[in-house]
Amino acid sequence: MLNIQQLRHLCAFGWLSYDLSPDLDERLTRLFELAGSFFDEELGRKQGLYPANHGTECGYYRIEGEKEYITLRRQVHADSALEDEASQAWREIARLLHGMLAELSSADGLDASVWDSLVDGSLTYPTHDTDLNHVITLLRIFRYYPTTGVADAHTDLGLLTLCVGDGSGLEVLDASLRPPQWRPAPCGTILVGETLRKLSNGIIKAGLHRVVGNPKGRSSIVFALRPNLNGQIDLSCFGRQEIVEARKFYMEIKAAKYNINAKQELRSAQRRARQGTQGSG
């Protein structure tokens, strides 16, 4: 899946260009089309079909003059073509990222099976009765508006993220350059999240990225594989003799960040409250 050079790059810089398989690329193309049709719907219908809940973490959300997006966390409409395609993409991407986590562990001589319990319930599109307080993995589809559609520099909260866009705008901070410089991200980009960085005790870096304005606008599909919060994490699997509550471990990471996908006024208030921190996606 990843060769040793790719693994080293991902660990050192927190991001990696990744070529999607033809099958996954075709599936995501269909998902972009279905999402585009959804975004073209009247605002009230979008809000009615997928009401925002859990803050910005589930449902449809719109930020005036910047972007709109839908966050899928579990099945809402069993007869939805959008969710059916998202469900297939979810399974394929989750399997891909799960395999990458196992490769990262194996490369360091650690037990790769630790990830099985950490992502329990997250490898397939969760059913409608799934407890969203425990299973927090998500698939999010963005439509960034032309020119003004942006996202602050941030790192993701979870383990690994796959981001695929249909236009320019996503940039990653390339720390291999001196001084580090922003550079356009490739179509398929793997990003290390803060949870994986903390689990590795900082050995694996989190990938800092942002979205800059694009005159043509941009759509993107983001799949963020996050840990299941219902249980404990045995850190001996990561070289440390400690057992921690998964929820507490994750929430301490989240508390240090501000939400780059919240409305501007809330985002600004959170940023002021956490001066000196970066945002989270």
Strand partners, 130: none
**How far is Cα 241 from Cα 225, in angstroms, rounded to an integer?**
25
- Residue 262: the pLDDT is 81
**How far is Cα 62 from Cα 92, in angstroms, rounded to an integer?**
28
**How far is Cα 42 from Cα 55, in angstroms, rounded to an integer?**
22
Q: Domain segments of the chain: what residues?
A: 4-280
pTM above 0.75, yes or no: yes
Q: Give the pLDDT confidence of 151-171 residue by residue, as tens digits.
A: 999 999 999 999 999 888 999
End-to-end Cα, the chain, rounded Å: 26
In CATH terms, is domain 4-280 a member of 1.10.357.10?
no
Q: Give the pLDDT confidence of 55-70 residue by residue, as tens digits.
A: 889 999 999 999 999 9
Which residue, 164, 81, 52, 71, is CA-closest to 126?
Answer: 71
Query: Distances from the Cα of 236 to the Cαs of 223, 233, 275, in angstroms?
Result: 28, 9, 33
